[in-house]
Amino acid sequence: MNLNATILGQAIAFVLFVLFCMKYVWPPLMAAIEKRQKEIADGLASAERAHKDLDLAKASATDQLKKAKAEAQVIIEQANKRRSQILDEAKAEAEQERTKIVAQAQAEIEAERNVPVKSCVSKLLSWLLLAPRRSSNVPWMKLLTATSWINLSLNCKEGGLMSEFITVARPYAKAAFDFAVEHQSVERWQDMLAFAAEVTKNEQMAELLSGALAPETLAESFIAVCGEQLDENGQNLIRVMAENGRLNALPDVLEQFIHLRAVSEATAEVDVISAAALSEQQLAKISAAMEKRLSRKVKLNCKIDKSVMAGVIIRAGDMVIDGSVRGRLERLADVLQS
């Protein structure tokens, strides 16, 4: 065989093999390699993106945590501020209520200052009416001296403890009226005072009253004229007034007695305002409390006002007792606005 022909055949076969590989073998291999390279590159890129996303997520979580902490701190500060505000409001309201209670107590104390002298006279006179006139155990002169001193105070004192409209006759009328109410003899006492007042208007008796008779003689003369129109207690009143030189005041005593009786028998109108109808038991308690406070019978006028919300508002003339939720809210609003 010829060597050159062999080499040439092999060269041709190699060329054909190379062409075949380039045509059918190399392109799929290159495509597979490129595809693999692309997949690896995409994987690396995805890993990089995931790493970046993780960093961003961590940064976002850190920011959100910081923001949440800041918001929580703001909320805590606001809560503390609101708590302090509520405490201040409560203190202010409590101080206002304390001031109101103190002012009311001072007003009541001031009002009570006007009572002791009148009350003392009334109680002393009531005791004198009850005490037997001739009892050896009764220190009459000391008691009458005391009532004389009190009457002098009543006449000479201007302002202060005694109101200007209180007359000399009022202590005697109050004592007689209290005694009459206690013994359920108001009508009898009014008749006795009316008769005694008419006796003082008699000309001869008027001369005796303006004369210089001794108190005991004057009292016994007056009682003798009245006769059976005065019972023992009525006679005691005449003796006490004679000892103090107050028999001329009997018409005024009658007038004051009638006034006290009218006030006692009058019925006070009391408005009771509530958000819902009150029970009979609740109304009974309110009625009893108001009768005790006003010292007279009361008539309750019940009204429904849903704006009251809860509690009651009680009105009796110029007196208003506001125990409603609406009233408390209004007072709280006034405190907040001020």
The pLDDT tens digits of the residues spanning 62-119 come to 888 888 888 888 888 887 888 778 878 777 776 777 677 667 766 665 665 554 444 5
pLDDT tens digits along 73-84: 888 888 788 877
Residue 102 lies in a domain: no
Residues 177 and 240 in one domain: yes
Buried b / exposed e along 304-319 (16+ C-beta atoms within 10 A) = eeeebeeebbbbbeee
Instruction: Reply yes or no on whether the pLDDT at 315 is more than 70.
Output: yes
Instruction: Give the domain extent around 244.
Output: 162-265
Q: Using CA atoms, how far apart are residues 177 and 68, in angstroms rounded to an integer?
A: 79
Residue 227 lies in a domain: yes
How high is the pLDDT of residue 156? 41
Residues 209 and 296 in one domain: no
Instruction: Reply yes or no on whether the pLDDT at 242 is more than 50.
Output: yes
Residue 168 lies in a domain: yes
Pairing of strands 312-316, 319-322: antiparallel
How high is the pLDDT of residue 224? 87
Q: Using CA atoms, how far apart are residues 125 and 174, in angstroms rounded to an integer?
A: 9
**Helix boundaries (H) for 2-25:** 3-20
Average pLDDT, the chain: 77
For the ranges 7-11, 92-96, 124-128, the maximum mean pLDDT occurs at: 7-11
Q: Strands, E, within the chain: which ranges?
A: 267-274, 297-304, 312-316, 319-322
Residue 115 lies in a domain: no
Assigned token pair, 113: 């200052």
Residues 251 and 318 in one domain: no
Cβ-proximal residues to 176 (8 Å cutoff; 6+ apart), any chain: 125, 129, 189, 193, 237, 253, 257
Residues 282 and 294 in one domain: yes
Residues 205 and 286 in one domain: no
pTM of the model as a whole: 0.41
How high is the pLDDT of residue 167? 65
Instruction: Reply yes or no on whether the pLDDT at 160 is more than 50.
Output: no
Instruction: Reply yes or no on whether the pLDDT at 137 is more than 50.
Output: no
Answer for the pair 256, 173: CB distance below 8 angstroms, yes or no: yes
The stretch 135-146 carries a mean pLDDT of: 42
Identify the residue with better confidence: 327 or 121.
327
Residue 144 lies in a domain: no
Instruction: Reply yes or no on whether the pLDDT at 32 is more than 70.
Output: yes
Q: How many residues does the chain have?
A: 338
How high is the pLDDT of residue 1? 53
Instruction: Reply yes or no on whether the pLDDT at 135 is more than 50.
Output: no
Over its C-alpha atoms, the chain yields an Rg (Å, rounded) of 54
Cβ-proximal residues to 270 (8 Å cutoff; 6+ apart), any chain: 286, 287, 290, 298, 299, 300, 301, 314, 315, 316
Q: Using CA atoms, how far apart are residues 296 and 148, in angstroms rounded to an integer?
A: 31
Instruction: Reply yes or no on whether the pLDDT at 143 is more than 50.
Output: no
Residues 235 and 252 in one domain: yes
The domain total for the chain is 2
Answer for the pair 249, 142: CB distance below 8 angstroms, yes or no: no
**Which of 237, 265, 293 is the endpoint of a domain?**
265
The stretch 34-50 carries a mean pLDDT of: 88
Instruction: Reply yes or no on whether the pLDDT at 148 is more than 60.
Output: no
Identify the residue with better confidence: 180 or 164.
180
Of the listed ranges 47-56, 145-154, 160-169, 241-250, the least confidently predicted one is 145-154
Residues 226 and 311 in one domain: no
How high is the pLDDT of residue 106? 65
**Which of 233, 265, 297 is the endpoint of a domain?**
265
Residues 227 and 243 in one domain: yes
Instruction: Reply yes or no on whether the pLDDT at 158 is more than 50.
Output: no
Residue 136 lies in a domain: no
**Which of 265, 294, 309 is the endpoint of a domain?**
265
- Whole-number percent of the chain with pLDDT over 90: 1
Residue 167 lies in a domain: yes
Residue 175 lies in a domain: yes
Residues 169 and 236 in one domain: yes
How high is the pLDDT of residue 10? 85
- DSSP 3-state of 126: helix
Q: CATH number for the domain including 253?
A: 1.10.520.20
Instruction: Reply yes or no on whether the pLDDT at 51 is more than 50.
Output: yes
Q: Using CA atoms, how far apart are residues 193 and 231, in angstroms rounded to an integer?
A: 11
- Whole-number percent of the chain with pLDDT over 70: 79
